[in-house]
Every structure is written in C-alpha cells, then in structure tokens.
Amino acid sequence: MTRAGNRLLSLDVFRGATVAAMVLVNNPGTWDAVYPPLRHADWHGWTPTDLVFPFFLFVVGVAIPLALGPRLARGEARAALLGRIARRAAVIFALGLFLHAFPTFDFATIRIPGVLQRIAVCYLVTAALFVTTSWRVQAGAAATALLAYWTAMTLVPVPGFAAGDLSKEGNLAAFIDRTVLGPHIWRVGRVYDPEGLLSTIPAVATTLAGLLSGQWLRAARDPRRVALGFAAAGALATGAGLLWGVWFPINKPLWTSSYAVFTAGLALLALAACHWVVEVSGWRGWTPPFVAFGVNALALFFLSTLVARILVVVRVPVDGGRSVALQAVVFERVFAPWASPVNASLAFALATVLVWLALMWILYRRDIRLTV
C-alpha cells in the first residue's frame, strides 16, 4: 500500500474528494438556483449531498487506527494519548463555535451544535474507545448505539405528539434540542438541529464503522483483500440500511439508524473503489489534487466556511445607495450574465472549489500540514 508515514494514499484521496464535495455543496452562487442533487433532502430520503458528512465521519474513523495504532504499538501511555485526543477534540469544537459566533459573537443566541462540533464529539468518543477497548467492544458499542437510538425515537413520546412521530417538530431528538439548548439551535430549522444532541449518538456509530474498517485495513495488508472486503461489507450494509429504512426512514437531519448503516455501506463501497484504483491497479497520476485537499481537510473546511461568511458580511455599495453582500456582487457580475441561474450558481461553486484547490496545492507542494 502507498504510504507516507502513517498516511495511506487512497484514504487521502477519498478524504480529499469528500471535503471537495463539502465545499461544492456549501457554496452555490445563490441558494435560489441549485441542482437538486446538490441540495439536502428536505426530510426523509436522501440525495448525493446527504452522503458527504457521513462519508467524512467515516473517514475520521478509518484514520484513527492509522494515526494512533503505531503509537500504541510503540508503548505510548494510554493516558497521554487520551489527553492528546481530548485536546484535539476541544480545539475542533472551539473552531466550530467560532464559525457560529463570527462576526457578531452574540453568545446569547450562538448555535452550539454544528458540523465541526459533531466531528469533535465523534472523534473524541471513537478515538477514546480505540485506545481503551477491543474491536469487539467497539462493534458492540456501534450496534448498541443504533438500536438504542431506534428504540428511543420510535417508542418514547414527545409532549403533544405520539410515540414514533418523526416529523420535524414532533420527534424526540428535536424535542431534546429545544428543551436543552433553547435558542442555541439551528435558526433555519427553528424546531430542530441537524447536528443536535441525541442524533450525535448514531453519528458516533458511523465513525465507529470507519474505525472498525480502519483496523481491518491496517491488519489485512493485502490491498486486494482490503478492497474486496470493503466492497462486500459495503454492499451488505447498504442493503441492510435500505431494508431498515422501511421501518425507520433514512433521514439525514435525524441521522436515523438506517441512514447511518446505509451511508456507512456506501462509504465502504466508495473507499473500496478508491483503494482498488490507487492501491491495487496503481493508477495514481490523477490523485494529487485530491491529496492536496485530503491532507488539510479540516483546515479547508474551516477556512472555506470562514471565507464564505466573510463574503456575506462584507457589504459593497451599489446603485441607489444600497449595499449588498460581496458574494452576491461577485455572483451577479461575474457568473450570472453568461449562464442560466442554476448553471451560474454551479459555476460559482466550482470556481470556489478551484480557488481553494490552488491554495491547498501551494500548501501541499510545500509539505505544510495545518493540523490541530
């Protein structure tokens, strides 16, 4: 397998493709004109966009044994590793809070959950389990999390709603978020948060699926065996998730157990394909742009989100004494004149990806890793 230190080329490529997709779907020229596959499903169901975040959490899990396994093998103290894990998770969580606070820093209404916050919690729990338990305990924890979440969401009633109500307002996860977090939830959702408290439990299971896959990858050695094993497991998990969805619908905002299993299966299939192409077939000439994204994935997500917010905050004067967001000015003057609204919006998103690729390429060529 193609490694640089503890890095695996096919994993960096998969991670890079995932974070590039994150940048693409998060940065349309206008939210009023977006191709349906580049939007999240409104509630039940899924689109390609709904695969991006679980794929990233899955990769977080896969990378843990590759990064921490050698340290354990060298006899590094578990307490020291747990301290390192906790510090890293705290920094990631704080970066997520910063993105939500910027630029007003109104802590009375700041959204507490978020993408980076969920990554931090999932990483903390999963990495700590890797350091302190066996793979059997980790597999049991993942299964228990999925089954317990399914049971709670379908059997525990919410005041004013029947047990098993999975509507936006009537589900248990949304009720807990409103009760515990109050105004500190996603303003767009109003009555629920897609990265809320209870739904983080099955998200941890998604990361644990990646952890188990990473341990098997590290132990299997033979790239063919790894790719074929991932493909077989991915096909089974995808089918199981679809079947489970008959009783517990696939739903990204709720991160239903069926969604967790289904997306883990698709992540395994995607990683199997990437592993076969890169590690088995040796086709690597196309990989550098994705590796450039992959080796600085968290930094790319943070910086691209921060810049997107700045482009909205900065106001530019226009005719009539009005001022509009810099992002809107760029879109209307550079992209909108030569394409239909939906194509201009897509072109803006693609241009954003290319700009960030240029910046990440500079870091990659200089071997700079922005880590926490």
Instruction: Pick the closest to residue 315 from 307, 323, 306 (CA basis).
Output: 323
**Tens-digit pLDDT profile for residues 253-275:** 999 999 999 999 999 999 999 99
Long-range CB contact pairs, 271-274, < 8 A, 24+: 271/10, 271/11, 271/14, 271/58, 271/62, 271/213, 271/230, 271/234, 272/226, 272/227, 272/228, 272/229, 272/230, 272/231, 272/234, 273/227, 273/231, 274/10, 274/13, 274/14, 274/17
- The model's pTM is 0.95
CA distance 104 to 190: 20
Residue 4's pLDDT is: 44
Residue 93's pLDDT is: 97
DSSP of 15-83: HHHHHHHHHHHH--S-TTS--GGGS--SSBB--GGGGHHHHHHHHHHHHHHHHHHHHHHTT--HHHHHH
Residue appearing with tokens 């979440």: 149
CA distance 178 to 190: 9
**Tens-digit pLDDT profile for residues 325-364:** 999 999 999 999 999 999 999 999 999 999 999 999 999 9
Residue 318's pLDDT is: 78
Residue 336 DSSP one-character state: G
CA distance 112 to 253: 16
Structural contact between residues 168 and 193, judged by C-beta atoms closer than 8 angstroms: no
Domain ranges for the chain: 1-39+285-372, 51-282
The pLDDT averaged over each successive group of 10 residues in the chain (372 residues) is 63 97 96 96 97 98 95 94 97 96 92 97 98 97 98 96 95 96 90 96 98 92 91 98 98 98 98 96 95 95 96 86 89 94 97 97 94 83
Residue 189's pLDDT is: 82
